[in-house]
Structure 1
Amino acid sequence: MNKRDFWRKQAKRWPIILLLPLLFLLVFFFYPLGNILRLSLTAEAVKALVIRPSFRHVIWFTVWQALLSTGLTLLLGLPVAYFFARYEFRGKTVLRAITTIPFVMPTVVVAVAFRALLGANGPLNRLLVGLFGLATPPIQLEQTLTIILLAHVFYNVTVVVRLVGGFWGNLNPRLVEAAQTLGASPRRAFWEVTLPLIRPSLISAALLIYLFTFTSFGVVLILGGPAFSTIETEIYRQYITFLRPDVAGALSLLQIIFTFGLMWLYARWQQDTAVSLDFRPAESSLKQAKTSYEKIALGGMVVGLLLFLLAPLLALVWQSFVDRDGQFTLAYYQALPTLRRDSIVFIPPLVALRNSLGYALLTVIVAGVLGLLTATLLIRPSRWRSWLDPIFMLPLGASAVTLGFGYVVTFRWLRTSPLLVLIAHVLVAFPFVVRTLLPVLQGIKPSLREAAAVLGASPGRVWREVDLP
């Protein structure tokens, strides 16, 4: 039985539950987005995008800054992913957890943290001014491209560590050992054996980072200012500042088209290059740093990564205890529970924390289930597969501002309901699950599934006892 015949036979018994992600996407993504675009998009707005140089500048800046951000993130993240994949060292679990902290933080907090670290009154500038007796702060990075790129790398480096490092760590090390036994140098073994094997996870990570930075909003808005406007921030300004929903709708449509095209090309490439891999438990691939070179490189990676990831967060904490004159104060913390009670934005800190934890937990559960169902659906050969893969990734490239307005217009009866907030979080989160699981599921040897099915296992049992472990 060949692979296509196997899947065709199994398709007759596919559970209808696999179609739930499509239904979710149709109701909570395409419907509200189409609704707001129908109400706002005009031919005049589309024409303005073509004619006005300012819009062309915004589009071009969005494209190349995302490309540069992705390259810098990979440049920093790949060596870190290598050390996580191949070495065992003290504090590894804690360091891996620390790399995740920036990614789960709101973009507004990340932007404010970098302003706290590199701003005119930040600890670095205060230290340099005090040490060298300077009249002005030497670090002037506010509203520059440099600080935007630094924040993007800070925010996304964990994507490389998690996706590439996790995939890399589960590869069978005997593949590289066999190449070196046949005379290949370590460098050649990496380029001709390791790199082709980790390429699916590498492309997945690069694609996600590019989409994150392409649609960057909070970081660019706070750190860049009007001079550095991406498509996403320009959509916000057209909606809120200039009251031009038609232009905002045209920009949103352009962003969606670009995202779909990028994901479609990637899906086709992934289908053509996917191979079955020999996985090993990560622990069996780990080794200790023995030579002086390995110890210095590993130590430098740990120290450098900790400084890069913790410095902005520590600067933010420092700023919360220091007033404008540099004196210690608890005034900011004392003000937390004493905001005006008649303010419509007042939320007690403990209530806000409870809400955040509740939304996070529910999002993990729902997005995890939907992402797993989606990845299971996409590994099955189908004429629609090359279209379904990019469609499921569209929430990553859609404008959050436009989608938010679409929710308000479409689901008015849910406007004050926490359910709408949960749905929005799940919509953004479940594509991450798909991109994480898909390369792994595609790497499982089809013969394992076929053997289980021949022995009488149902599709559900095949998934539970072959794919899931």
Structure 2
Amino acid sequence: MGAGDDATVIGRAVVYLIPIVFLGIGFYYPLGVVLRDGLAPGPLRAVLTDPYFLHLIAFTLKQAAISTALSLALGLPGAYLLARYEFPGRRAVRALTAVPFVLPAITVGLGFILFFGGNGVLNRFLMWAFHLPSPPLHLLYSLTGIVLAHAFYNAPIVMRTVGAAWEGIDPSFAEAAAALGAGRWRRALGITLPLLSPAIMSSAALVFVFTFLSFPIVLVLGGARYATIEVGIYTLVRTLLDFPRGAALIVVETAISLGFSYLYLRAEGRFAVPVQGERKALRIPFFRRGRWGEKSLLAGYTVAIGVLFLGPIGAVIADSFRGEAG
């Protein structure tokens, strides 16, 4: 082997060694320190027996469950609307569902304060419209504010995931059931829902994990009173400099999130329905005659979802153009 070959081998070794060293120093070593401190009997026992930390864990699970339910409640009608109806601007609306993914959490928090706050746009409008002496809505700095902000972020996940699955359902299944006398609701519950269940479960699991691990939204809109595990970790490590109990709380949070991920993967395998279809249902023009009751509900839903999503974004944009006097 010549000098050139030796240099090549050394060069390759250096190339492989750099990312390994980087991962070791930047990821595995800090992770090892956290696991070492977090799994120590003293701090772990303190976290699992202290009523304050047990309250943090319970509240984190509670707000994640409520946030997931609200995200599903807001996302599923949107998925149905995008999958089954054709209307002007449909593609633009679908594209707008990706906007929350790219917005910084602090921007979302600021938008909620500017729009839903006591002196926010919505309260000022309601006070003007109904001649009220004080703000009628008190949504921020509460569980309601946290859940609404989480739904702002995560309902689009449900819309896009379930909507794509809904568009891919072969209409032959429903047509065959209708030919056999099955009504619309029976087809929806007996055919459509089972076919959509993998997508619904997948989006719900993602939303639950995201809201369970949420930090900036809870910190801005909840504060210490409505703290979650993430805020508790921040308080222990950043404010109290209590690294052992902070590491123990990280271990507990990681174990819970991994546990829910495992349950989701197990459930997904059981509930998944293999579908092979070549046809796709044609979308119905929204402004065609018929189904006025359903369309009225969808129109009301569109207004509500527009207030929730466009209100905070518009408030931030409008506030950014105001001068100091404004």
Residue 83, structure 1, aligned to residue 81, structure 2: yes
Q: Partners of 2:121 and 2:322 in 1: how far apart? A: 10
Shift in Å at residue 133 of structure 1? 5.3
Match of 2:48 in 1: 50
Contact 2:197–2:272 (Cα < 8 Å) also in 1? no
Other structure's SS at 2:175 match: helix
Match of 1:181 in 2: 179
One-letter identity of the residue aligned with 2:202: S
Shift in Å at residue 268 of structure 1? 1.9
- Residues 1:280 and 1:304: Cα distance change in structure 2 (over 3 Å): farther
Match of 2:152 in 1: 154
One-letter identity of the residue aligned with 2:182: A
Q: What per-residue deviation string (whole Å, max 9, x for no partner) do you get for residues 370-406 of structure 1?
A: xxxxxxxxxxxxxxxxxxxxxxxxxxxxxxxxxxxxx
One-letter identity of the residue aligned with 1:124: L
- Residues 1:178 and 1:61: Cα distance change in structure 2 (over 3 Å): same
Shift in Å at residue 74 of structure 1? 0.6
Other structure's SS at 1:110 match: helix
- Residues 1:89 and 1:280: Cα distance change in structure 2 (over 3 Å): farther
Match of 1:427 in 2: none
TM-score (norm 1): 0.60
Contact 2:202–2:268 (Cα < 8 Å) also in 1? no
Shift in Å at residue 210 of structure 1? 0.5
Other structure's SS at 1:219 match: helix
Q: What per-residue deviation string (whole Å, max 9, x for no partner) do you get for residues 123-155 of structure 1?
A: 223334445555543333331111111111111
Contact 2:35–2:251 (Cα < 8 Å) also in 1? no
Match of 1:74 in 2: 72
For residue 34 of structure 1, the aligned residue among 12, 31, 35 is 31
Shift in Å at residue 305 of structure 1? 2.6
Q: What per-residue deviation string (whole Å, max 9, x for no partner) do you get for residues 419-449 of structure 1?
A: xxxxxxxxxxxxxxxxxxxxxxxxxxxxxxx
Match of 1:356 in 2: none
TM-score (norm 2): 0.85
Match of 2:305 in 1: 305
One-letter identity of the residue aligned with 2:303: V
- Residues 1:33 and 1:158: Cα distance change in structure 2 (over 3 Å): farther
Match of 1:217 in 2: 215
- Residues 1:204 and 1:32: Cα distance change in structure 2 (over 3 Å): farther
Shift in Å at residue 236 of structure 1? 1.1
Contact 1:170–1:285 (Cα < 8 Å) also in 2? no
How do residues 1-400 of structure 1 correspond to structure 2 at under 5 angstroms? Answer: 31-32=28-29, 34-38=31-35, 40-41=37-38, 42-131=40-129, 134-280=132-278, 284-289=281-286, 290=288, 291=290, 292-322=292-322, 327-328=325-326
One-letter identity of the residue aligned with 1:304: A
Shift in Å at residue 243 of structure 1? 0.4
Match of 2:6 in 1: none
Q: Partners of 1:33 and 1:262 in 2: how far apart? A: 24
| Larger mean Cα displacement after TM superposition, 191-200 or 129-138 | 129-138
Name structure 2 gaps, 5 residues minimum.
1-18
Shift in Å at residue 86 of structure 1? 1.4
Contact 1:221–1:229 (Cα < 8 Å) also in 2? yes
Contact 1:98–1:309 (Cα < 8 Å) also in 2? no
Q: Partners of 1:84 and 1:58 in 2: how far apart? A: 38
Q: Partners of 1:32 and 1:176 in 2: how far apart? A: 55
Q: What per-residue deviation string (whole Å, max 9, x for no partner) do you get for residues 162-220 of structure 1?
A: 11110111110111111121111111111111111111111000000101111111110
Q: Partners of 1:131 and 1:304 in 2: how far apart? A: 18
Q: Partners of 1:179 and 1:104 in 2: how far apart? A: 42
Cα-Cα RMSD: 2.4
Which segments of structure 1 move beyond 6 Å, counting only runs of 4 or more? none
Match of 2:12 in 1: none
- Residues 1:278 and 1:287: Cα distance change in structure 2 (over 3 Å): farther
One-letter identity of the residue aligned with 1:61: F
One-letter identity of the residue aligned with 2:32: N
Contact 1:99–1:309 (Cα < 8 Å) also in 2? no
Match of 2:15 in 1: none
Shift in Å at residue 266 of structure 1? 1.8
Other structure's SS at 1:78 match: helix
Q: Partners of 1:228 and 1:321 in 2: how far apart? A: 32
Contact 2:77–2:298 (Cα < 8 Å) also in 1? no
Name structure 1 gaps, 5 residues minimum.
1-22, 329-469
One-letter identity of the residue aligned with 1:72: L
Q: Partners of 1:84 and 1:132 in 2: how far apart? A: 34
Contact 2:83–2:166 (Cα < 8 Å) also in 1? yes
Compare relative contact order (CA 8 Å, sep 6+) and give the higher one, 1 or 2: 2
| Larger mean Cα displacement after TM superposition, 118-127 or 193-202 | 118-127
Q: Partners of 1:135 and 1:307 in 2: how far apart? A: 23
Shift in Å at residue 33 of structure 1? 5.5
Contact 1:99–1:158 (Cα < 8 Å) also in 2? yes
Q: Partners of 1:196 and 1:215 in 2: how far apart? A: 29
